Amino acid sequence: MFEVRVQEAAFDLGAEHARLAALGPAVGAVVSFVGQVRDHSLRLEHYPGMAERQLAAVLQEARARWPLLGAILVHRFGVLPVGTPIVLVLSASGHREAAFSSAEFLMDWLKTRAPFWKQAGGDWVDAKAGDDAAASRWRD
Amino acid sequence: MIRLLYFAWVRERIGLGEESLPLAAPALLSAIVDRLCGQSAGHAAAFADVSRIRAAVNQDFVGFDAMVRPGDEVALFPPVTGG
């Protein structure tokens, strides 16, 4: 099961994890990551269509690099208060190394490729050079 | 005709999320952005520094040297900040 979703609604980590955990006897590891709003409430704008397309492309790239049995990416948009989950990454594999590494890769790449923009107060958040560096360490 | 989409502060400076531009033959994206700068003061302000602009054609990232064809969907926006 490989799935990407872009939604305003909250997601349920336990329910998504259970779907991957139940994929079959070959699943030996499921890694999950939840990003949440820090410091200031945010409004997230996105490019409908391209957001899903780019998340799917990032997921395809992860599948080419690791022997994944399943993965789920969920990214939220809209108004999100401090402490609210924004992004969910789940990766399932036979062993922990592929699950850990691919989950980290998925986060790093989606931050520089998925068309979402954060606004805090009235100000648009600037892209961080550190995010580009994190994404580029996965090349080859 | 091409469909143009703007996001975040690019959308705010232009004052539009979406518009159409007549395009009869393929053209470089950089030439299209130059044309857009002549449309209004807001367009000129949005594209004053193209090093701060990212672009997509038909929902794939491209550089400003990309060719745009009639019927394409072209999006112009700041570097992404999701995750």
The answer for B 6-65 residues in CB contact with A (under 8 A) is 7-9, 56, 59-61
What pTM did the predictor assign?
A: 0.94
Q: What's the domain range around B52?
A: 2-77
How far from the centroid of its chain's Cα atoms is residue B29's Cα?
Answer: 8
E-strand spans in chain A? 2-7, 29-36, 42-46, 68-76, 78-80, 85-93, 116-120, 123-124
Q: What interface predicted TM-score (ipTM) does this complex get?
A: 0.95
The answer for A 1-20 residues in CB contact with B (under 8 A) is none
* Contact call for B8 and A46, based on CB within 8 A: no
Query: Over the stretch B43-69, which tens digit does the pLDDT of each residue have?
Result: 999 999 999 999 999 999 999 999 999
A140 pLDDT tier (thresholds 50, 70, 90) = low
Task: Give CA–CA dist A7/B38, Å, rounded.
Answer: 36
Task: Give CA–CA dist B83/A36, Å, rounded.
Answer: 9
Instruction: Tell me the two tokens of residue B26.
Output: 């393929």
Which one has a higher pLDDT value, A121 or B75?
B75
Task: Give CA–CA dist B63/A35, Å, rounded.
Answer: 30
A2-136: CATH superfamily: Molybdopterin biosynthesis MoaE subunit (3.90.1170.40)
Q: Within a domain: residue B82?
A: no
* Contact call for B9 and A124, based on CB within 8 A: yes
Whether A33 has a pLDDT exceeding 90, the answer reads: yes
Whether B37 has a pLDDT exceeding 80, the answer reads: yes
Instruction: Tell me the two tokens of residue A91.
Output: 């990766």
CATH number of the domain that B44 lies in? 3.10.20.30
A37 touches chain B (CB under 8 A): no
Rounded to whole angstroms, what are the CA distances from A45 to A7, A75, B11, B82? 11, 11, 11, 9
Measured in Å, how far apart are chain B's first and last C-alpha atoms?
34
Number of A–B residue contacts, CB under 8 Å:
69
How far from the centroid of its chain's Cα atoms is residue A119's Cα?
Answer: 19
Instruction: Tell me the two tokens of residue B83.
Output: 């995750």
In this structure, are residues A1 and A20 in contact, taking their beta carbons and an 8 Å threshold? Answer: yes
Whether A81 has a pLDDT exceeding 80, the answer reads: yes
A86 touches chain B (CB under 8 A): yes
Q: Which chain B residue is nearest to residue A77, measuring alpha carbons?
A: B82
Q: Within a domain: residue B83?
A: no
In this structure, are residues A88 and A12 in contact, taking their beta carbons and an 8 Å threshold? Answer: no
- The angle that helices A129-136 and A96-113 make with each other, rounded to 10 degrees, is 140
Q: Which residues of B touch A124 (CB under 8 A)?
A: 8-9, 78, 81
* Contact call for A127 and B82, based on CB within 8 A: no
Q: Within a domain: residue B16?
A: yes
Q: Which chain B residue is nearest to residue A33, measuring alpha carbons?
A: B83
Name the minimum distance, in Å, from the CA of A25 to any CA of chain B. 31
Identity at A74, one-letter amino acid code: V
How many domains does the structure of chain B reveal?
A: 1
Q: Which residues of B touch A53 (CB under 8 A)?
A: 59-60
